[in-house]
Structure 1
């Protein structure tokens, strides 16, 4: 069996499920026309997937430990493919949003096993290379989504952005069967599904996202908005109470007593929001106000970032894995912030090319942040909690995208409703993203003290030794 077959299997699946976070962005105008979706509905088409992905990642890890990481990865891929087919044939926005939630569940089952599969398959410097490639795939996938979406939407129709997942899923399944060895968790450490924690976390995340989207539509003092915020707070309190009392929490809250871990989780949320969550709104500006087609919108709105992230990660990934995470992540966030602020200088006479320099800088920052974020979290916690830490990074990253879309959507809608120029609305959204990234950079540089290079984070035990249960993500 080829040395890198497991990495290939994980990379294909990861690329597909992360592309689907952003592939819809350039198709939003076409979806709105065909299905009569409102701005709020379009935000849910994006957030439904990201929320489901975030909400069940850690719970999926417990299932993977009990039933087998390879088996759960394959099951998630099958569910993802089936949900993609449902998305493609959805007759209205409501069913499309529901199918996107199902897609997120399948994606979570896949994503939940990626770190464990790589940790079991590789160690030492090979593990650093594997995480570097996987991180490059993470960054390139999220930014490449709008490009693929533009090509498919313009030439075949928006439904093909989901149909294309069917053959890719088959390829991922083939490589998984060929190259991934089954592994489980140790029964002695517990691998029970934390159902109460999963439900309360999901409810809190969904309620706060609804409140943010609803606030932009109905007003921040509207009863429905205030009720959603109250429900989110109550669910969060319930989640904390559940996690503190259960013997097998999906997220051990004691990890947050470590300043470095807490800072990295905050950075995961803020980095994903700042780097990617504004892209739907620059895409709307390019298509609806500049008259660009989906392909041009995807190329102008994402290709510079995607290319810069991929090239920088490919050539600098091994070096970054040897730099203390505080500096690689902090510097990357500074670049993301600077790149966003470069884009926030549009005028009514600006063309789409005005976004390119800033997108390139953001891409360089993404290449520095994403490849080291997960392994830095592993290095910041005890060895027996390394899998849970990796899963938490993925969870908080996707939550950051969902919340970012909701917040930026409210800002965008508010500026347009105030009869400001579309360029002014885009400038405000991207400027907020820039300041968010800069704040995250300051937090990481001041607080994170994980001294080990990311590739020296301890490897998980081999499959025959039964890696730690409940922490496979």
Structure 2
């Protein structure tokens, strides 16, 4: 259970403290009027960065130079440890549950604690980098992530670990957008597309290796080394960034900060997720009901706030586009499936079918490989045909893959049940995710491309966050430490398949048939790493 509350009043006080922390952190995310744009196209990154051009302090370097190699190394390693931590933890959850006595609720919090702060602060940290310095915010995020990783590694209780995971999410919120912003600001226009391609490819490798590395560390050493591994990597990145990465900022970053908008999102997400996870375990107590009310109120207030502030970080007029709204609803459905299915599948393999951590990590590796190999090819096809067909067919195939996961029960074999499910699921995702960002970007003017891809990013994170919180509740899964998930697992997979079907239908209804789209160079699995810290200077509300 979350923090092992002794009374409802204590629980309420601690929830209020958590929301206050979110509000304080979100307050520091300032949305400037002008931003850079990293607009992915087939030939590379297009669009002159007016804000960057106005800053004489930034010396851009060609890709072949030593300075560029150092910069890319820092960006790849910095985002890599954050991405690795998001994928490596799944296979470690059963071992964590056994050692720290954490039931399913505790395991949900270990995963969702990280996603919660990451989702809530991603946009704010990207804006802070533009205003206060991209390298500075990157290094601060790195320091927070390192300290939090050490705290995770030495955690004596599940409550300690969850608190440290919240801290990791804060650091990752600065690392993920900051790494790409460093490349955008520091590499010459002619080489930026290739540099982003290198960053994306290495990020894809990190994503693919995460479950394998996590499983190997858990089986050969301890789950604690999943977190300790971050420390030497972070030290190396800090040294490289401090010595070899130039500082850059957007000199045109001005205008009043959207404090209330960012705070309402942070508090709203925190309250809703807290209630979704804790009510099934503890019931409708004072703290859980209060959290639900505060969370719903925060999310409901967000669009009202954004309509009234001078410089909203999310201009609601973007949602007047049917394609923009439909593409983001499809993203919500697809990433709900990804987050929920993978979270429960790994638990099912280890706790119900007695796979080792390494074997559990390797079991899902074919899916990631299919996505990394297939997404660029599908993206090229979508460039010629438009995104509507792949965004419709892909979720339907992914739904079939998730439905096949319902057959992954005790007694089923890997070749007969697990492998077909992950292969079909991976194929569906490979078809879907590559055109998703292209559909989003083609639905808005170039001046709002950075904002659009930031929304794309945030929704994908929130989808995974909510999936982990909602699916076990909807399927009636209540497993103690190391206990089998029971028949609720199969029901959860069928629910997820239904969500995928809805995503495919939504894409068919809302996405234009022959839209001319901007082909993004990122592998599909990493498309959500496009962020609002790389907006064009003309990106104004």
Q: TM-score when scaled to structure 1?
A: 0.85
Q: What does residue 351 of structure 1 align with?
A: 413
* 2:369 matches 1:326: no
Task: State the Cα RMSD in Å.
Answer: 3.3
Shift of 1:88: 0.8
* 2:297 matches 1:234: yes
Match of residue 145, structure 1, among 210, 216, 220 = 210
Alignment of 1:31-430 (within 5 A): 31-114=96-179, 116-117=181-182, 119-120=184-185, 121=187, 127=193, 141-142=206-207, 144-173=209-238, 176=241, 182-187=247-252, 190=254, 192-218=256-282, 226-300=289-363, 302-313=364-375, 324-353=386-415, 354-414=417-477, 422=485, 424-430=487-493
Shift of 1:101: 0.9
Shift of 1:251: 1.5
Shift of 1:140: 5.6
Q: Is the 8 A contact 2:91 2:357 kept in 1?
A: yes
| Secondary structure at 1:454 match in 2 | coil
Distance 1:421 1:86 in 2: 29
Change (3 A) 1:63 1:132: same
Match of residue 454, structure 1, among 518, 525, 535 = 518
Distance 1:124 1:377 in 2: 25
Q: Is the 8 A contact 2:74 2:179 kept in 1?
A: no
Deviations 1:234-282 (A, max 9, x none): 1112222222221122222221122222222222222222123222222
Change (3 A) 1:297 1:347: closer
Distance 1:272 1:134 in 2: 22
Distance 1:348 1:327 in 2: 37
Change (3 A) 1:179 1:264: farther
Shift of 1:54: 0.6
Change (3 A) 1:466 1:229: closer
Q: What does residue 461 of structure 1 align with?
A: none
Where does the alignment leave 5 or more consecutive residues of structure 1 unmatched? 458-464
Q: Is the 8 A contact 2:341 2:402 kept in 1?
A: no
**Which structure has greater helix proportion?**
1
Shift of 1:469: 8.4
Deviations 1:332-384 (A, max 9, x none): 33332222122222454313441111212222333344444345433322222
| Secondary structure at 2:399 match in 1 | helix
Change (3 A) 1:314 1:374: closer
Change (3 A) 1:156 1:284: same
| Secondary structure at 1:292 match in 2 | coil
Larger Rg computed on CA atoms = 2
Q: What does residue 508 of structure 2 align with?
A: 445
